[in-house]
Amino acid sequence: MLSEPIRVLVTGAAGQIAYSLLYSIGNGSVFGKDQPIVLVLLDITPMMGVLDGVLMELQDCALPLLKDVIATDKEEVAFKDLDVAVLVGSMPRREGMERKDLLKANVKIFKSQGAALDKYAKKSVKVIVVGNPANTNCLTASKSAPSIPKENFSCLTRLDHNRAKSQIALKLGVTADDVKNVIIWGNHSSTQYPDVNHAKVKLHGKEVGVYEALKDDSWLKGDFITTVQQRGAAVIKARKLSSAMSAAKAIADHIRDIWFGTPEGEFVSMGVISDGNSYGIPDDLLYSFPVVIKNKTWKFVEGLPINDFSREKMDITAKELAEEKETAFEFLSSA
């Protein structure tokens, strides 16, 4: 017996991340094989021709779970009665653009989309922000949608999380599945802190700590961290395009975990509102934490011991987020 269809919006739907994402949403690998979907695609007016092509391809996939696909450039159509909103579209950073200009352009977009969520979407909507700067864009959207619980908003740091997992796996010659409980703390930027102090790896049938398994502290505190922090730039340099396949996979992982919960004994990283955390991160920041999820509700992983090395890194990225927030909120009040 199939359930009622859910309405899922993807913004920036004519872009390359969406192109890698839409098929996995439509084929049941995100919301399950018995969950019909009405898929809503939003992009800006100049992209509507391209979006038509995406629409044709989705039709041509002949996916049984796709009950309807709606392509639009109108927020009042796109945000209506949503169960899930995946906000991928944002203003990309152009060459020579200051981060401040980038923030300003995106505040405008995410203020408008937050207001549309507030006005048209279900109050239970789950909102996932991917478009960069993701943490601050997510906070902007949440502030602009006061009637939707702030816990319903999260931003993607799962790509960084997966990158960290795979770097450890490659170094140890195991598969990424054998590595669990890595953490991305903070901002989805080059100040993020990939932390493996609490991570475990399955080696020869038993679980050991990553530090113990690798016996290479200088790599873990040096090149490992910078590799994960700068992986996005490395992909752009090599491919001349930003990460799309891996970003789409991370979005699918992130949403699936919200929908179905995290496995017993495992936690994942996502950017969430920092209120009430026990790690000394100021309230009212959208910061990436380790979380566990059950019944579509996340909780902080509590009680992880934080050493001095980690503390410093966690504070650096919190400081950057506080500064971003301040800049964004100046624009928010005037936007």
Q: Is 99 annotated as a binding residue?
A: yes
Q: Which one from 188, 198, 204, 254 is the annotated catalytic residue? A: 188
Q: Catalytic annotation on 204?
A: no
SS (H, E, C) the chain: CCCCCEEEEEECCCCHHHHHHHHHHHCCCCCCCCCCEEEEEECCHHHHHHHHHHHHHHHHCCCCCEEEEEEECCHHHHCCCCCEEEECCCCCCCCCCCHHHHHHHHHHHHHHHHHHHHHHCCCCCEEEECCCCHHHHHHHHHHCCCCCCHHHEEECCHHHHHHHHHHHHHHHCCCHHHEECCEEEECCCCCCEEECCCCEEEECCEEEEHHHHHCCHHHHHCHHHHHHHCHHHHHHHHHCCCCCHHHHHHHHHHHHHHHHCCCCCCCEEEEEECCCCCCCCCCCCEEEEEEEEECCEEEECCCCCCCHHHHHHHHHHHHHHHHHHHHHHHHHHHC
Q: Is 261 annotated as a binding residue?
A: no
Q: Is 30 annotated as a binding residue?
A: no
Q: Is 68 annotated as a binding residue?
A: no
Q: Is 130 annotated as a binding residue?
A: yes
Q: Is 239 annotated as a binding residue?
A: no
Q: Is 265 annotated as a binding residue?
A: no
Q: Is 291 annotated as a binding residue?
A: no
List, by residue number, the catalytic residues. Answer: 188
Annotated binding-site residue numbers for substrate: 93, 99, 132, 163
Annotated binding-site residue numbers for NAD(+): 43, 106, 130-132
